[in-house]
Amino acid sequence: MTTANTALLANAGTLAPPAHDVTVIRHTGSSRIAAAACIVLLVAMVTMPWWGQSGHIRWVVEFSVYLAIAQMWNLLAGYAGLVSVGQQAFVGVAGYTMFVLTSNFGINPFLAVWLSVLVPGLLALPTYALLHRLDGPYFAIGTWVVAEAVKLIVLNIDYVNAGSGMTLRVMSQYSLHEREVGIIWLCASMLLATVGGSYWLLRSRHGLALTAMRDNPVAAESQGVNVKRLRFLIFVAAAMGTGLAGSIYYMAQLRITPAAGFNPSWANICIFIVMVGGIGTIEGVLVGALIYFVADRFFAQYGAVYMVVLGLMTLLTALYARQGIWGLIVSRIHIPLFPVGRKLIMPSQTATGRPQ
């Protein structure tokens, strides 16, 4: 060791403050406000059947479903790097499973929703085993092929009425108020599991691995991150979360058909919300879900023109604002609502309020 290196090591303690003097900050003023707002909105949501109108409750259910499936796709594509255009497979499979458990086995529908989540998870196992060697557009096309194959299988199964679909007649034994309470509480639980669970995951040590994998999977693997295992786990989790959203959606609709349950528009919704709002961020998914929901409520009547406009918005965002609308916002105003990183505050910065 050279004299210069020895002197550098000897003076290392004077060059940096002791570790215990460094403050780690994981929350900001804006994130605390966002947390309080989320709690208020969640309370308002679960009490809505006692003060809200039935039409508005249906709006909340739809928005919750859009938000949940988009967040699952965001976790899948934004962090695991797995771009799927076949998430409708898990929506349809979970929806049909819930109908079968309720109508054919007499299981309580509100319990059947949670049991139905297991089937998309099981379907994800062979799907990932078949597709995990594919990359980029090949993986995306593979997921679409799997979704179409599952749809064709369901279309030819008489046990689920083939192409005629199934009706959830058992819900007639509950009053309108009871159905609204059950479904809105399921939606609240779904948001806690999908959005809240994603936030918790990204703030954990696994979140650090996911962030590293998102930025550079090769470098992450060289640093000890098990990229293959993480991608597999995210794929299964996204399938189950997407299935939960589909099961709740078709419970509210009281009917499911292969054309509806396995409709490719489910994948289109995910892509639009995440791409326009901002991929790789929870805030971006919220922004994108709001934009899509408002557009769907007020402009869907224009049919093909409406779809063309949504497609152009996605294309323009991908070309000129790759971080989405939320990315444009934070580039001008730094207001993280759901921060997942860590910020180190040095003692001198704490004292002066300014970084050194």
pTM of this structure = 0.88
Residue 131: CB atoms within 10 A of its CB come to 21
Convert the pLDDT of each residue in 32-68 to its tens digit.
Answer: 899 999 999 999 999 999 999 999 999 999 999 999 9
Both structure tokens of 315 = 């294309």
* Domain presence at residue 356: no
* Residue 6 counted as domain residue: no
Give a yes or no: residue 8 inside a domain: no
Model pLDDT, residue 313 = 85
Q: Rounded to an integer, what distance in angstroms lies between the CA atom of residue 240 and that of residue 69?
A: 10
Mean pLDDT of the 92-100 span? 96
Which amino acid is located at 356 in the chain? Q
In CATH, what number is assigned to the domain containing residue 88?
Answer: 1.10.3470
For 81-197, list the strands marked E by DSSP.
166-167
Cβ distance 147 to 246 under 8 Å?
no
φ and ψ at residue 102, rounded to 5 degrees: -80, -50
Q: Is residue 16 part of a domain?
A: no
Task: Kindly state the average pLDDT of the residues 217-242.
Answer: 88
**Average per-residue pLDDT in the chain?**
86
Distance separating alpha carbons of residues 133 and 139, to the nearest angstrom = 8
* Mean pLDDT of the region 81-109: 94
Q: For residue 230, tell me if it sits in a domain.
A: yes
End-to-end CA distance of the chain: 32
Q: How many Å apart are CA 102 and CA 62, to the nearest integer?
A: 22
User: Do 187 and 60 touch, CB atoms closer than 8 A?
Assistant: yes
| pLDDT at residue 110, rounded to an integer | 95
- Report residue 333 as tokens: 């105003």
What DSSP string describes 7-66?
Answer: HHHHTHHHHS--GGGPEEE---HHHHHHHHHHHHHHHHHHTGGGTS-HHHHHHHHHHHHH
Q: Would you tell me the crossing angle of helices 227-253 and 54-78 to the nearest 10 degrees? A: 160
Q: What is the pLDDT of residue 50?
A: 96
Q: What is the pLDDT of residues 135-189, one digit of tens each?
A: 888 999 999 999 999 999 999 999 999 888 999 999 999 999 999 999 999 999 9
pLDDT at 9 over 50: no
Please check whether residue 13 lies inside any domain of the structure.
no
The verdict on residue 220 lying in a domain is yes
Note the pLDDT of residue 300.
79
154 occurs within a structural domain: yes
Q: Match 């989790």 to its residue by tokens.
A: 237
Torsion sign over Cα 312, 314, 315, 321? positive
Which tens digit of pLDDT belongs to each residue from 186-209? 999 999 999 999 999 988 888 888
Instruction: Decide if pLDDT at 348 tops 60.
Output: no
How many Cβ atoms are within 10 Å of 29's Cβ, its own excluded?
Answer: 9
Give how many domains the chain has, as a whole number: 1
For 292-335, the pLDDT digits (tens) are 998 888 887 777 777 788 888 888 888 888 889 998 888 888 88
Which domain covers residue 179, as residue numbers?
22-347
Q: Tell me which residue of 197, 206, 203 sits closest to 225, measured CA to CA.
A: 206
Task: Determine the distance from the C-alpha atom of residue 314 to the mean position of all C-alpha atoms in its chain, rounded to a whole number.
Answer: 18
